[in-house]
Structure 1
Amino acid sequence: MSDPLPASTRMTAYSFVFAVVISATSSAPTPLYHLYQQVFQLSPGTVTLIFGVYAFSLLAALLVFGSLSDHLGRRPLILLSLLLNAAALALFAMADNAGMLIAARIVQGLATGIALPTFGATILDGGSRHGPLINSITAFIGLFLGTLVGGAMVTYVPHPMQAIYLLLLVMTLAGMAGLALMPETTQRRPGAVAALAPNVHVPHQARTALLKVSPVNIACWSLGGLYLSLMPSPVAVTTGIRSPFVGAAVVSTLMLSATASVFLFRALAPRRALLIATSGLMAGVVVSLIGIEQQTVPLLFLGTAIAGLGFGSIFSNVLKIVMPLAEAHQRAGLFAAFLVESYLAFSIPAILAGLAAPVFGLPMTAYVYGAAILALAMISLTAACGDLHVPSGTS
């Protein structure tokens, strides 16, 4: 009897599912940070350091291993990412101090940095016209599920500091077993050693466009870093609601809304979509800050949902605007430069916020953080959306 699904379709489905699992692993600690802070007596600065080291190791793995699957094949790199993910989950489940949490996040970042380009390329190998759209939403879906399911398990399941990690570990081990049944989607080719050298370069013709969208790109990723590192704590402190599930639900709302925005705005010209997205990001931040000031959870959810529409659309449309400006041989270097900017914005402001919180308090830190995001978004509204060149075919 013939296989009911073509090999490429099976591999695309497999890659989507386990790319979601890897992304879910990266956000699973978010509902636990407040608990770690209490049990291990950690400062907010230590919590955001635990969060931030993930971004640095992820970035290192992306830059070094990002194109290696083009030379060695997809399956070896998928297996490596799943092995590292399993190791990270085991470390999380056994963690009893900040050092083990930091080690787990470093290993987790390496796993994610290898997984994202490899699974993304595998999905595109399938040849489906929906490949780019699938890649646009995979990480958001994983972040949404990891945060929400993690929050539910922390709140309602015994052994809250182990349960979510054990669930994800079982899924990761299943992925390793299932990989044996999946086909390879690309041919090996020489040049693997040369591919390990990081290639970070902004072509001359793309510099102006990248400079104009950089403020809102930094604002977007900084907002994501704030939510995934600290947001459950301000929710608990300002509203008095100590349930980890509520804080996790606020964070997951950002990711769910970001996923929706990819579909809602995908048909718009990039300049127009970026204008709407930037305005939405600003409006959402303002409403969220009012929710913190008024200690009102519904306003926090509303502001987060509005900001999420901007978050997802900014990410996708910045790439639509900037990447076509590079020649074929320049795209890897330009994408690497984009990732360096993005992940530094994702981690460094969150770490600084964690250091500032004990001095100024979580609410004041959130206000200043939000004001900085608003300022960056306003700069991009005036600089990028007014007169931004978009190559023909993208507007």
Structure 2
Amino acid sequence: MNSDSPSLPASTRSLWKARALVTVSLMTGVMGSSVPTPLYPLYQAQLNLPSFTTTAIFFAYVVGVLSALLVGGRLADRVADRRRLLLPALAMVATGAILLALAQNLGMLLAGRLLAGLGTGTLTGAANAALLDLEPPQHKQRAALFGTAAFTLGSILGPILSGVALQAGFHPTVAPFLVIVSIVLAVGHGLWRLPLRRTAAPAPAPHSPQAVHASARALPARRVTQLMLLCCITLSIVWGVGSSLMAMGPSLGEKLLGIHDYALSGYASSLLAACAGTAQFLSQRTSSTSAFRYGNMVFASGLACAIASLLVTQAWLMGVAVLITGLGFGAAFIGAAGIVNQIAPPQRRGLMVSLFYIAGYIGNAWPMLLGFITDHAGPMAAAMTLLLTAIAASAGFVALSRRLLPIRS
């Protein structure tokens, strides 16, 4: 990588190539983190591992992600060329995938997941900051679209990749990771040849459209902090509901709705992710504030539909609820990400984006709380606690957004 690389590519074609490479790099990191999920029972059987090791392996990944987000966010704001973080992060993702493909014991599994977490966490801060660098001030919403789409696609494609290998019986603990390594090598080669250096943009003329746009978003520090907290808590809630559906959906579906086909319950998480991606695409021309507000409204409506499904014990109604919830999930996600992109000062983009996603990963702790409630009060109490809490939170987010942000911000 040349230290004297030119500034960000100026041509439209080069800009779109850069956006594509950065987006795919983030998607690949998320794919690498989600590929092992269907394989844990296979590892457990092949390596004679006790049941608690699944939690330990997941914990190693979370430690890696959170550590990288905490450190990588600050580093992303200190490097002029984002590739100095993106390329090492991709190398960690590839090394983690190789370790998992060769894993013969628990130590290799833990090391592989730790490296995958470190790579994904570093990519999250650096890639989202790079996407922001590649967009003009009036198109920051587009950076949010690419960032959230990368997460959604990675979450969908990872389990599909390992699931296909499992169903085909084609080296399921090796082949999916080799695919990840291959994509990493291709993306890394493209990034190596493409400069991603930040430059200090010249100050716009006082009455230019860029100046008017920038001044409209010049918010007091206290308001920035309030909006950042609002977006972080929102992401924690929506990710918490999503992770709870993936972790506990099959068991709760069996106990509360009589759905004995675990595959059918598993498809619910894929439906949620697919609807979220659809909503993100449809929201690309909507203001971040509107997407955030309407996303939370739709999200709460879907959860209310889920409550109705549980009360009348109708599985088909739960399918409708998942569809509506997924659409709200995607719109609220891209709206919150867009708000963070717009309020983040250039010198703190990496840090604020990293903190935003840290809040999301913290939301992944919801299934543990639900498991505790299920053991002590039953599955219905756990489901109602999750749904009613999320509905109340979403209503509060809408009310706060009306006070903190005008509709056209």
Asked if Structure 1 and Structure 2 have the same fold, meaning a TM-score greater than 0.5 normalized by the shorter chain, the answer is yes
1:379 paired with 2:379, answer no
Contact 1:212 1:380 in 2 (8 A): no
CA distance in 2, matches of 1:63, 1:241: 40
User: Unpaired segments of 5 or more residues in structure 2?
Assistant: 1-10, 201-219
Deviation of 1:296 after TM superposition, in Å, equals 7.6
1:239 paired with 2:259, answer yes
CA distance in 1, matches of 2:122, 2:175: 25
What residue identity is the alignment partner of 1:64?
V
Deviation of 1:140 after TM superposition, in Å, equals 0.9
The aligned residue for residue 335 of structure 2 is: 317
Contact 2:40 2:54 in 1 (8 A): yes
The aligned residue for residue 27 of structure 1 is: 34
CA distance in 2, matches of 1:63, 1:366: 37
Match among 216, 224, 237 for residue 219 of structure 1? 237
1:146 paired with 2:163, answer no
Match among 255, 261, 265 for residue 279 of structure 2? 261
The aligned residue for residue 51 of structure 1 is: 58
1:252 paired with 2:270, answer yes
1:186 paired with 2:204, answer no
The aligned residue for residue 67 of structure 2 is: 60
Deviation of 1:368 after TM superposition, in Å, equals 0.8
CA distance in 1, matches of 2:133, 2:397: 37
Structure-to-structure mapping, 1:194-205, within 5 angstroms: 203-205=221-223
Identify if the C-alpha distance between structure 1 residues 394 and 18 changes in structure 2 by more than 3 Å, giving closer, same or farther.
Answer: same
Contact 1:239 1:292 in 2 (8 A): no
Deviation of 1:53 after TM superposition, in Å, equals 3.7
Deviation of 1:222 after TM superposition, in Å, equals 0.8
- TM-score normalized with structure 1 length: 0.76
Moved more, 335-344 or 104-113: 335-344
User: Unpaired segments of 5 or more residues in structure 1?
Assistant: 190-201
Moved more, 290-299 or 5-14: 290-299
Identity %: 24
Identify if the C-alpha distance between structure 1 residues 96 and 370 changes in structure 2 by more than 3 Å, giving closer, same or farther.
Answer: farther
1:169 paired with 2:171, answer no
What residue identity is the alignment partner of 2:146?
I
Contact 2:288 2:339 in 1 (8 A): yes
Structure number with greater Rg is: 2
Identify if the C-alpha distance between structure 1 residues 140 and 330 changes in structure 2 by more than 3 Å, giving closer, same or farther.
Answer: same
Deviation of 1:114 after TM superposition, in Å, equals 1.3
Spell out, residue by residue over 1:153-210, the C-alpha distance to the aligned partner (whole angstroms, 9 max, x if none).
2223323233322222222233334444x22120699xxxxxxxxxxxx953345445
CA distance in 1, matches of 2:349, 2:190: 33
Deviation of 1:17 after TM superposition, in Å, equals 2.4
Moved more, 325-334 or 310-319: 325-334
Deviation of 1:257 after TM superposition, in Å, equals 1.1
Identify if the C-alpha distance between structure 1 residues 99 and 331 changes in structure 2 by more than 3 Å, giving closer, same or farther.
Answer: same
Contact 2:144 2:337 in 1 (8 A): no
1:158 paired with 2:175, answer no
The aligned residue for residue 195 of structure 1 is: none
Identify if the C-alpha distance between structure 1 residues 47 and 314 changes in structure 2 by more than 3 Å, giving closer, same or farther.
Answer: farther
Identify if the C-alpha distance between structure 1 residues 354 and 106 changes in structure 2 by more than 3 Å, giving closer, same or farther.
Answer: farther
Identify if the C-alpha distance between structure 1 residues 152 and 96 changes in structure 2 by more than 3 Å, giving closer, same or farther.
Answer: same
Contact 1:56 1:343 in 2 (8 A): no
What residue identity is the alignment partner of 2:276?
A
The aligned residue for residue 82 of structure 1 is: 90
Identify if the C-alpha distance between structure 1 residues 333 and 14 changes in structure 2 by more than 3 Å, giving closer, same or farther.
Answer: closer
Deviation of 1:76 after TM superposition, in Å, equals 2.8
CA distance in 2, matches of 1:213, 1:11: 27
What residue identity is the alignment partner of 1:22?
G
The aligned residue for residue 113 of structure 1 is: 121
CA distance in 2, matches of 1:277, 1:99: 42
**DSSP-derived class of the 1:161 partner:** coil
1:92 paired with 2:92, answer no
Contact 2:295 2:331 in 1 (8 A): yes
Q: Superposition RMSD on alpha carbons, in Å?
A: 3.9
Contact 2:246 2:266 in 1 (8 A): no
Contact 1:261 1:309 in 2 (8 A): yes
Deviation of 1:72 after TM superposition, in Å, equals 5.4
The aligned residue for residue 206 of structure 2 is: none
Moved more, 57-66 or 153-162: 153-162
- TM-score normalized with structure 2 length: 0.74
Deviation of 1:345 after TM superposition, in Å, equals 1.7
Match among 319, 325, 333 for residue 307 of structure 1? 325
The aligned residue for residue 350 of structure 1 is: 367
Contact 1:47 1:229 in 2 (8 A): no
Moved more, 87-96 or 365-374: 365-374
Deviation of 1:390 after TM superposition, in Å, equals 3.8
